[in-house]
Amino acid sequence: LYDNPSIKGQVNSYFFDDEGIKPGINNLVENGILKNFIYDRRTAGVLNTIPQGNGRRESYAHPEHVRMTSTYFGPGDYGLDEMISEIKKGVMMVHGNFGMEDPLGGGMQCTSKKAYLIENGEKTSILKATALSGAVLELLKNIDAVSKDSLKLDGGTCGKGSEDYVPVTSGGSYLRANNALISPG
**Which pTM value belongs to this model?**
0.85
What does the alpha-carbon distance between residue 38 and residue 4 come to, in Å, rounded to a whole number? 10
User: 173 lies in which domain range?
Assistant: 2-184
Tens digit of each residue's pLDDT (9 = 90 or more) over 116-153: 999 999 999 999 889 999 998 899 899 999 999 877 88
pLDDT of residue 18 exceeding 80: yes
Query: What is the reported pLDDT for 87?
Result: 97
Please state the domain count of the chain: 1
Mean pLDDT of 8-28: 91
